[in-house]
Amino acid sequence: MLLDMALLRNNFSLLRLTILALITLFHHGIHSAYGEGLTVEFHRKDATLGVMKLIGNTPAMKFTKSGLVIRKKPKIPKLWAGTASQFWVAGDFEITGHFEINESLCPPTEGYGTGVSLQVAVDVKGERQKFLLGQYLLPESAGTVYLASIRRNPKKPPSNIRKRLDVVQTTGWLRLVRKGNSLKFEVSSDGVEFEEIHTTKFSADQTTGIRFVVDTGKSTASQSVFKKLDVNADRLGFGSTKPQGGAYAWNAWWGALIVSIPLVAGSILYVWRRG
């Protein structure tokens, strides 16, 4: 009987640990994970663990209740700072970044401008292609623009498409949308209505990197706050290989739960019949 009770306690412990792990993964690791999607809310550092990593001038970054604050000083070795994905997406996808820019920002005096950008990269025939969508403050009080930048050949300069903003926006949303073999660059000032500023051809391969960064443009200080990153895709996963079924970390814990429930139920039935 003591052996039976020990078996029952062990299986209950397995179920409890599995449920706690699922709660932790949902609440701390990948927020709002459902199917092939995830949401990272930058006001909590633990929400980025295993999902996004800090890159660039990391001392300039700080997690706060408002989000991930990035304060960049002018003329420092690294011109950019931000986050990079630790996951890949494949098939059709929609990636949206929400940010705020310090409204007291002064226009840069030189360089190409300062701002926030959402970037995605894909390897095509051994060459990395990069696609960037950003909001930039131009030098010499030249105003603010949305910028779509496409670099298909690392040895050649990128192709840039600009759309001027009539007013300086201190909060915004940047969205990259792949449908089939095309990539759409979309922007919004309220997170509800999105405007397409450009469309280009895009590879069918899975992404090799997603970045959400601040760029000082060589000459000025800047302060931005990353609020949230939403990712939805046909397939999504972690690591360098493509697991079956997408986000395997989530699916693995569900598998453990499915296994542990019958174990506990069987143990209860076994002890009851022996009793």
Instruction: Judge whether residue 104 has pLDDT over 60.
Output: no
Give the separation between CA 103 and CA 80, rounded to whole angstroms: 19
Q: pLDDT for 196-219, tens place per residue?
A: 999 999 988 889 999 999 887 665
Provide mean pLDDT across the span 236-247: 57
More confidently predicted of 58 and 275: 58
Residues in the chain: 275
Q: Residue 124: which region, alpha, beta or left (left: phi > 0; alpha: psi -120 to 50)? A: beta
The pTM of this model reads 0.74
pLDDT of 246 > 80? The answer is no
Q: Is 214 exposed, middle or buried (0-12, 13-18, 19+ CB in 10 A)?
A: buried
Q: How far is CA 20 from CA 13, 33, 90, 168, 267, in A?
A: 10, 16, 30, 46, 20
Q: Is the pLDDT of residue 17 over 70?
A: no
Tens-digit pLDDT profile for residues 21-37: 444 344 433 443 334 88
Rg of the chain (C-alpha set)? 23
Residue bearing tokens 């931000």: 82
Q: Tens digits of per-residue pLDDT, 149-187? A: 999 988 888 899 989 887 667 889 999 999 999 999 999
**Is the per-residue pLDDT at 93 higher than 70?**
yes
Q: At what angle do helices 2-24 and 248-274 cross, to 10 degrees?
A: 160
pLDDT score of 141? 66
- Which runs of E-coded beta strand occur in 8-50? 31-34, 37-41
In the predicted model, is pLDDT for residue 13 greater than 60? no
Q: What confidence tier does 252 reach under pLDDT thresholds 50, 70, 90?
A: very low
Three-state SS string over 85-117 comes to ECEEEEEEEEEEEEEEECCCCCCCCCCCCEEEE
The top-level CATH class assigned to 36-246 is mainly beta
- Is 161:148 a contact under the CB 8 Å cutoff? yes
How sure is the predictor about 132, in pLDDT bands with cuts at 50, 70 and 90?
Answer: very high
